[in-house]
Amino acid sequence: QALMAPTISEYRYEPYGVCLLLAPFNYPVELTISPLVGIIAAGNCCLIKPSELTSNVASLLEKELPKYLDRDCFSVLCGGVELSTAVLANRWDHIFFTGSTRVGKIVLKAAAEHLTPCVLELGGKSPTIIDASATDLMLCARRILWGKMANAGQTCISPDYVFCHEKHYDEFIACAKKVLLTFAGEDPQKSPDFGRIVSKDHCLRLQRLIETSGGKVEVGGVVDVETRYVSPTILSGVSQESPVMKEEIFGPVLPVIRYRDLESVIRFIQSGESPLAMYIFAKDRKMVDRLCREVPSGGVVTNDIMFHFFNLHLPFGGVGHSGLGKYRGKYSFEAFSHRRCYLRRDDHSLLDIPARYPPYSDFNLKLMLFAGKHLPDIPPHPTLIRYGGMALTVLACAALWAHYISF
């Protein structure tokens, strides 16, 4: 590094340009505005495409956002799959997508045509593990079911299923029943705090998963397709080969699986794609460390559910099939910025080291190796770099020449 003195080096965050924001249906306001904040902060323009499944929210965004944003830089387009396909056919400087892994692959393929950078926030089957060392099973049940039943289970980082150690299995099931009764009452369909499924097709899909699970319905299992209602449901005795364990549930259905040894849990999770989140309820730190070491996931939360998403000091995103790239907080600014490097040097020929140029010799090689080993780096202070670096370089060059000429 000292051989480059006097040099000023830095990097600057610069906007990509025009971004495409493809928003999902499950949190149509939050998951539109949150990435949009990063897009704006980084200095980009943006086309916003809300989900057609939440048409009322899409119409609201189309009507209201232009009132507060520069219409030459930001626009909202509403439409279905055909519009999304047409939009993706264009060239964008950056694409941000939140949704399913299946559609994420389509978005990434379209982006690859123009080598467009992407952030893909996808999903997957986020596991929850209750270890034998866990002590407060009622607290575990409250936190897990809060995360599972929020937005009727339509959350990308919702706990998809639970592996519960056999020591706590029966107690956890009993606690979960009590918690659901507290949360939603005897008839959850009448509860003002329990939501509905986004569409009838998704209701039918959840109904199929319950009916083909092969497990026992401990509580719930009620589906009303016409009103898009699926009751909070807990399934016990579910096989790892059950259809409900093969795809992301994305609804208020929670399979609880008994396990004896942690190895079988690790093998099962590893056999699938990397999840967006992993939740561990345990006091045994070695057990937690082992899971974190052997099971990849977008994020890990110990003894709670989903809180890493709300912590703006942490980057949020998936890995593998659960996502590509990170955002939230300052990481949103970084996600929508190109970090461009700059290096500036003076044009003083006196400071130009001849050994860098051909013809090369053993002498030149020894000179460069000696300089790289013995010359110190210059602290990153502009004035010191410019003047101190010049002086140090002159003295260093003179000392090097004197050292080798003496031979």
Catalytically active residues are 121, 156
Residue type, 395: L
Burial environment of residue 77 by CB neighbours within 10 A (0 to 12, 13 to 18, 19 or more): middle
Helical ranges in 25-168 per DSSP H:
30-41, 55-68, 81-88, 101-112, 137-149
The CA-CA-CA angle for residues 190, 191, 195, to 5°, reads 105
Give the DSSP H or E segment for 393.
Answer: helix 389-405
76 DSSP β-pair partners: 48
Q: Are 389 and 376 in contact (CB under 8 A)?
A: no
Q: E strands of 173-222, at which residues?
A: 216-219
395 DSSP β-pair partners: none
- CA gap 67, 69 in Å, rounded: 6
> Which residue do the tokens 């996502």 mark?
323
What is the token pair recorded at 10?
């830095």
First vs last C-alpha separation in the chain = 26
Helical ranges in 249-378 per DSSP H:
262-271, 285-294, 307-310, 330-335, 362-374
